[in-house]
Structure 1
Amino acid sequence: MGILGNILWFICGGLLSGLSWVLAGCLWCISIIGIPMAVGNAVAGLICCITIIGIPFGKQFFKIAKLSLMPFGAEVV
């Protein structure tokens, strides 16, 4: 019964759930929200990298810029 339930979940719910995440990722990438956030964080990262003390903070801003551009499927470490 467990295998049959997993197969039915994948066909009925899992496939639709996976497609919705893909569509949400595409819409986020081309929307007016993700791109300005990424550009703003990249600029903040460049400004932080001017000094030696700010380089670690700049690296984190670049990670946030990547995350704000494509947030779906990303892992924060």
Structure 2
Amino acid sequence: MRFIANIFWFILGGFVMGLGWWLAGLLCAVTIVGLPWAKACFVVGQFAFVPFGKKAVNRSDLTGVKDIGTGTLAMVGNIIWFVFAGIWLAIGHLLCAMFCFVTIIGIPFGLQHLKLAGIALAPIGQTIVDK
């Protein structure tokens, strides 16, 4: 069932939003300063292509250890990310979610877009795991 849902997701908007994440990652990678955000963009971009059967969790909750990407620097990084790119990716996911919610069949896809919109606001320190 996850495979079929991911195929429909990829065709009905996941491809576009995944490319949006990868474009943001490329723009971040152009500068040395943006490399931490670029890595997060590429990880979440892969998640945006096939989100069914996976979820995003805080890396410190998963490992039980705080690192540079889950502490105070991550919070500062997420604030910077929110101002420059996060809000725009979140708006894109919210718009896609609204279009998906128009039909009954699109509701699960809209929920995935809402999940990705939340991740778009603060991706630093998140990791993607199988459910």
TM-score band by shorter chain is 0.5 to 0.7
Match in the other structure for 2:115: 63
TM-score, with normalisation over the residues of structure 2? Answer: 0.42
Structure 2 unmatched runs, 5+: 1-65
Higher-strand-fraction structure: 2
Taking only the aligned residue pairs, the percentage that are identical comes to 34
Q: CA deviation digits over 1:22-69, x for unaligned, max 9?
A: 2111111111x1111000100000100000000000010011111111
- Is there any run of 5+ residues in structure 1 with no aligned partner, and where? 1-13
**Take 1:75 and 1:49, find their aligned partners in 2: how far apart are those partners?**
27
Deviation at 1:19, TM superposition (A): 2.8
Relative to its length, the structure with more helix (as a share) is: 1
Aligned-partner Cα distance in 1 for 2:74–2:122: 12
In the comparison of the two structures, how many residue pairs are matched? 62
Query: Which is higher, the Rg of structure 1 or of structure 2?
Result: 1
The structure 1 residue matched to 2:102, chosen from 47, 50, 67, is 50
Measured after TM superposition, the shift of residue 21 of structure 1 is 1.3
Please, what is the CA RMSD of the aligned residues? 2.1
